[in-house]
A and B are shown apart, each in its own frame.
Chain A
């Protein structure tokens, strides 16, 4: 059973296109996240949703729009893709209790050409 699953695993697209990445968790967690890992392997938080409400929104271009239809899903839509958006995007989930571990998906490698 996959705890946090995201699709697609790989995404190659041209500049200017709009694309979405989907994420689902079956752990019953109430908090979900999107992280971006760049070529230097830094993992940076982008967004966090708790019970479908946006609670963390880091300095991310507004071309990136997360959407949480329910507690188990958090999708990421990216408009007008740019070369600099190329990275690995990870979805994660956790309980909202403090000091709990995060469970990560396998990542989506986005390449913008």
Chain B
């Protein structure tokens, strides 16, 4: 069956360190993979998109990698800050569908 898995346990790190979140999937062939941030009581907010033919994408302190062989995406936040504390969701999009399939999210807590 098709499955998207993110670390279900919360990730706790110290301010200034790099946070690395994992998104693994099985039985999908996504054309795109997106990462979103969700704060309590709010809707998800788009962060980054990476295409199947791209290995890496960066935006400021954020970096996403996409390995279609391993069926895995890694999401990195460098020089993390307490304001980065939130739940991060990965989402797959197959071509020609426009439909996003979300993982369950990983909660990141950055401690000062």
Contacts and interface: CB of A to CB of B under 8 A. Distances in A.
Contacts, number: 58
Contacts of A107: 41-43
A91 to B, nearest CB: 8
A41 B105 contact: yes
B44 A31 contact: no
B43 A45 contact: no
Interface residues of A, number: 26
Contacts of A96: 98
Interface in A10-48: 31, 40-45, 48
A66 interface: no
Interface string B28-53: 00011010000001111110010100
Interface of B: 31-32, 34, 41-46, 49, 51, 87, 89, 93, 95-102, 104-105
